[in-house]
């Protein structure tokens, strides 16, 4: 078993540790007690039935019977990341007598993490919570950084709060039950982290592809810890996304457009980001920000963690959809471009025409690379 890696996130409003490695679940109770510094706490664990079915025994056995967490359920799926779910959970907490001694435990992927974090931010005007992410995406991305929230009919993550967890326990054992497509999609966020800020992580993803895809715990622990380090480093400098944090959106402008164009149902988030990243690479290449060799190296790594599914959308449709996702600064769109492996910059002058050309090139690649697959 590889040793546990600990990454400290020190942001303006909170400092906490993110623990990564195998076997963390077994010592969960002791770790939570240490976190509570001997003060009594009541654990309320929020999860989905499908996840709990796989991991309940392991989690329960970490706690003495009298301190076993009260478990609250949310059905699996993005469609339950809504205010109604948060309200129902708050009612259940109140009914169970949860007060300020409550410690919420988010045990699931990004959906459970975002819901639980938001619930913790507003229940009794704020109670502490801990993230125990069970998907790779949640381990490398959503459990870290304090963004919490839910969706509205009008769009994703439109209601929320900044509320950091007290700690994050990312147990790599949990990934054993994750479908391979979910693992690969999550790894796209690690590739993103490598491209924008960590050439060594990028190389690790290139060189240990087989081990990583097979779920080797040593390789995965290294990848996850390095990815978290990138996010924690960026968030520490720019908690509220006024500047630097924007680089974490590499691949996401067109990625979000692809998700919207396909009704959030055909592709996993990481798969949409992967195609969006390839389009962003085309923009960088046509501006001579990266060489053809660098373009190929980055695109090849993205494609290696596939296969990426094909989708139906036109370049124009995608560019039109980016309007809804514009991260604007005085009306200007922020767009993230790599300048080499391990470094990226934010530009504000990417035009619709540039994005159209890049989206078109990406769509041609997609058709060429997936031509033997039946389009759904
Ligand atoms: N807060 C942030 O900073 C942030 C960042 C990125 C993404 N997000 C959010 O994260 C969400 C996506 O998260 P996700 O990709 O983890 O999806 P998810 O939470 O929907 O999980 C994916 C699926 O895997 C199942 N699952 C989870 N863990 C499992 C395990 N160990 N074994 C088997 N099945 C398991 C889940 O029940 C679900 O069906 C989105 O809502 C997105 O907005 C938030
Ligand atoms: Zn993402």
pLDDT digits (tens, 9 = 90+) for 23-71: 999 999 999 999 998 888 999 999 999 999 999 999 999 999 999 999 9
Residue 376: per-residue pLDDT: 45
Site to substitute for ligand 1 among 110, 138, 255, 325, most atoms within 8 A of C-beta: 110
Which residue spans of the chain are classified as CATH 1.20.1090.10? 180-368
Which residue spans of the chain are classified as CATH 3.40.50.1970? 5-177
**Mean pLDDT, rounded, for 174-178:** 97
Q: Which atom of ligand 1 is nearest to the CA of 174?
A: 31
Q: How far is the CA of 133 from the centre of ligand 2 (A)?
A: 15
**Mean pLDDT, rounded, for 293-301:** 98
Nearest to 26 by CA among 79, 62, 63: 62
Among 100-104, 137-141, 197-201, name the one with the lowest average pLDDT. 100-104
Q: Output the CA–CA distances (angstroms, integers) from residue 281 to 156, 179, 275, in the order listed.
A: 25, 28, 10
Nearest to 109 by CA among 75, 134, 83, 78: 134
Distance CA 148, CA 299 (A): 31
Strands 155-162 and 147-152: antiparallel
Q: Which residues are catalytic?
A: 125, 147, 189, 231, 241, 245, 249, 252, 256, 269
Distance of CA 337 to the CA centre of its chain: 20
Nearest to 191 by CA among 180, 201, 200: 201
The correct answer on CATH 3.30.10.20 for the domain covering 5-177 is no
Cis peptide bond prior to 289, omega within 30° of 0: no
Residue 331: per-residue pLDDT: 64
In this model, does residue 375 exceed pLDDT 70? no
Sign of CA dihedral 176, 180, 182, 186: positive
Cis peptide bond prior to 307, omega within 30° of 0: yes
Token pair 């090849």 is at which residue?
A: 300
Distance CA 189, CA 64 (A): 37
Question: Any idea which ligand is nearest the CA of 144?
Answer: 1
Q: Please give the helix or strand (H or E) that residue 158 lies within, else none.
A: strand 155-162
The token duo for 31 is 């770790």
Residue 356: per-residue pLDDT: 97
Residue 168: per-residue pLDDT: 98
In this model, does residue 291 exceed pLDDT 80? yes
Nearest to 215 by CA among 303, 132, 136: 136
**Mean pLDDT, rounded, for 93-99:** 97
**Ligand 1-lining residues (CB < 6 angstroms):** 48, 50-51, 54, 76, 78, 81, 108-112, 114, 134-135, 137-138, 141-142, 145, 147, 156-157, 174, 177-178, 182, 269
The token duo for 107 is 């045990």
In this model, does residue 76 exceed pLDDT 80? yes
Instruction: Kindly tell me the burial class for residue 269, based on how many C-beta atoms sit within 10 Å of its own C-beta (0-12, 13-18, 19 or more).
Output: buried
Q: How far is the CA of 293 from the centre of ligand 1 (A)?
A: 34
The token duo for 108 is 């699931």
Q: Which CATH number fits domain 180-368: 1.10.10.10, 3.40.50.2000, 1.20.1090.10, 1.10.287.470?
A: 1.20.1090.10
Length of the chain: 376
Nearest to 5 by CA among 18, 20, 16: 20
In this model, does residue 374 exceed pLDDT 70? no
Q: What percent of the chain has pLDDT over 90?
A: 89
């Amino acid at each position: 078993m590889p040793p546990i890696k600990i990454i400290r996130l020190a942001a303006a409003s909170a400092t906490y540790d993110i623990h990564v490695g195998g076997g963390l679940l077994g010592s969960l109770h002791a770790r939570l007690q240490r976190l509570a510094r001997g003060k009594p706490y009541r654990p309320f664990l929020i999860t989905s039935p499908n996840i709990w079915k796989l991991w309940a025994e392991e989690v329960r056995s970490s706690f003495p019977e009298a301190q076993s967490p009260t478990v609250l359920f949310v059905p699996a799926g993005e469609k339950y990341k809504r205010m109604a779910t948060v309200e129902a959970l708050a009612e259940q907490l109140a009914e169970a007598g949860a007060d300020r001694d409550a410690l919420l435990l988010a045990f699931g992927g990004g959906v459970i993490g975002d819901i639980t974090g938001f619930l913790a931010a507003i229940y009794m005007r704020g109670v502490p919570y801990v993230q125990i992410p069970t998907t790779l995406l949640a381990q490398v991305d959503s459990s870290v950084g304090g963004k919490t929230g839910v969706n509205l009919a009008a769009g994703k993550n439109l209601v929320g709060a900044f509320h950091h967890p007290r700690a994050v326990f990312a147990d790599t054992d949990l990934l054993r039950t994750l479908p391979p497509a979910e693992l690969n999609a999550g790894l796209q966020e690690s590739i993103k982290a490598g491209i924008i800020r960590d050439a060594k992580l990028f190389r690790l993803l290139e060189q240990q592809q087989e081990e990583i895809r097979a779920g080797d715990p040593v390789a995965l622990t290294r990848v996850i810890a390095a990815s978290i380090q990138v996010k924690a480093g960026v968030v520490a400098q720019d908690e509220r996304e006024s500047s630097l944090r924007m680089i974490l959106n590499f691949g996401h402008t067109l990625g979000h457009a692809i998700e919207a164009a396909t009704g959030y149902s055909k592709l996993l988030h990481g798969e949409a980001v992967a195609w969006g990243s390839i389009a962003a690479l085309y923009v960088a290449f046509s501006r001579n920000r990266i060489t053809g060799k660098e373009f190929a190296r980055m695109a090849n790594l993205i494609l290696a963690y596939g296969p990426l599914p094909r989708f139906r959308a036109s370049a124009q449709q995608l560019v039109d959809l980016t309007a809804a996702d514009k991260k604007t600064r005085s009306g200007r769109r922020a767009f993230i471009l790599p300048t080499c492996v391990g470094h990226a910059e934010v530009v504000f002058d990417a035009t619709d025409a540039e994005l159209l050309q890049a989206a078109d090139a990406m769509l041609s690649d997609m058709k060429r690379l997936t031509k033997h697959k039946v389009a759904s």
